[in-house]
A and B are shown apart, each in its own frame.
Chain A
Amino acid sequence: MKILVHELGAEEFARQVEEEFAHFVTLGTDFPQAEYDRIAAYFAPPPFETGLSGEIDRSDPAFALWVDRQVAAHKAPGYAIANISLKPIGGIPGDISAEQMDLVADLAERYSFDELRATHAQNLVLPHVRKSDLYAVWQALDEAGLADVNLDLVSDIIACPGLDYCSLANARSIPVAQKLAERFADIDRQRDLGELKIKISGCINACGHHHAGHIGILGVDRKGTENYQLLLGGSGAEDTTPAKITGPGFDEDGVVDAVERAIERYRAVREPGERFLDTYRRVGMEPFKEAIYG
């Protein structure tokens, strides 16, 4: 496709698409409104209650911390969106045991209109929880070891299965994610660093979307040994940018150290309110390169 667009030019390509589309319309392949409505009915919002309280009782401080980090606003009054972290420090990103999954399924059934979503960030979401139920949900999650408070923080790492599980991989991803999470385990340090998305892929197929990470790590095979390239400045959000490679790669421990040096450089040069990505965009690659390679 990209080759075709390149050959034809974007304008001519668009013209041909429009022409073909106009032709399709004459073939009567479009389905009627009744079919659209039939399918749309499957996506109808659940029957939200009205007149619910918008208050959350924050008297338990541990619960209040979880609410501030893991809970997002819902469009229906009295409801909230609860993000369940699958990123305990030292764990495998996105892993959940059968017992934990049973519990989460029960919570979804009881508190979220039987709905549970998995996110690309390897976490789970209870999409429609009454604010008055959040405390009960949190208590159940906490008891099951599912109440980590690190959404979008440095330990909320996306990692592909890597060489541990994947026959395509060139390098392991999970141990790197685990070492990084352990390095930044201190929650005060994590909160101080703010939103910081680390993404790790164990080969160029890029299942971990390392190229869209604020900090990305790509595992490659270099003459039979695992080697990790470091990338900075990617974003998969509305402000999409591809990350850039910092320079020569590292071994497993080396890349963890390099990430820490880059993050410490960010702390040294950031301006108030700046995320890692914002600082990188403002100051560019050089200061980070200097910190990483000396």
Chain B
Amino acid sequence: MAENPLRFRDDQQADEPAVSLGAFLEQANANSVRIEAGDDVRLLIPALDRVRLVEIDFPRFRDGRGFSSARILREAGYTGELKATGDVLLDLLAFMRRCGFDSFAPDSPIDPAEAELAFNRYPHVYQHAADPPDSPWAVPIWKLRHA
């Protein structure tokens, strides 16, 4: 499999295709799951310890439910790959990362150099979110001010 330039992880990619949430919950040995807009991602929480890849699909850019799905999983302690697929646009990337996505497979390709610019557009945040632990976003501006 070709290297995904919009994958921000060092570990090996999961080697099996992602299955639907329903199928995943029925297959005790599956490790990759695909979340559609409207799926209740909280159903996945009890099974998180065997998940290596969660793909969250964005059918259209204006359907933002995938953002919530992502941060719910991160807040529940999920540390595996979280991949945004579908109508993923350049100006959404930084917010997606802040919600916990660490890999992107947009329907329309995004230039990695432009993605890099988008990620670095705003170095400071008012509030931490499901940010990558090593990113400057993980420390909100008030912590820097009142350290």
Contacts and interface: CB of A to CB of B under 8 A. Distances in A.
Contacts of A23: 75
B1 to A, nearest CB: 35
Contacts of A35: 142, 145-146
Contacts of B140: 29, 31
Nearest to A36: B142
A27 B75 CA distance: 8
A98 interface: no
B13 interface: no
Contacts of B146: 32, 34-35, 38
Nearest to A29: B127
Interface residues of A, number: 9
Given A27-B75, A31-B140, A38 B145 contact: yes
Contacts of B127: 29, 31
Contacts of B142: 31-32, 34-35
Contacts, number: 21
Main secondary structure of the interface of A (DSSP, over half): loop
Interface residues of B, number: 8
Contacts of A31: 126-127, 140, 142
Interface string A13-55: 0000000000100011101101100100000000000000000
Interface string B74-112: 010000000000000000000000000000000000000
Contacts of A32: 142, 146
Contacts of A38: 145-146
Interface in B112-147: 126-128, 140, 142, 145-146
A40 to B, nearest CB: 13
Contacts of B75: 23, 27
Contacts of B126: 31
Interface string A146-185: 0000000000000000000000000000000000000000
A29 B126 CA distance: 9
B62 to A, nearest CB: 16
A29 B145 CA distance: 15
Nearest to B140: A31
A68 B142 CA distance: 46
Contacts of A34: 142, 145-146
B99 to A, nearest CB: 13
Interface in A210-251: none
Nearest to B126: A31
Contacts of A27: 75, 128
A4 to B, nearest CB: 12
B81 to A, nearest CB: 22
A253 B96 CA distance: 54
Contacts of A28: 128
Nearest to B146: A34
Nearest to B72: A23
A29 B137 CA distance: 13
Nearest to B127: A29
A32 B146 CA distance: 9
A31 B147 CA distance: 12
A275 to B, nearest CB: 44
Interface in B56-85: 75
Given A29-B128, A32-B142, A34-B146, 6 more contacts: A31-B126, A31-B127, A31-B142, A34-B142, A34-B145, A38-B146
Interface of B: 75, 126-128, 140, 142, 145-146
What are the 10 closest A-B residue pairs judged by CB atoms, nearest first?
A: A35-B142, A31-B142, A34-B146, A29-B127, A32-B146, A35-B146, A29-B128, A32-B142, A35-B145, A27-B75
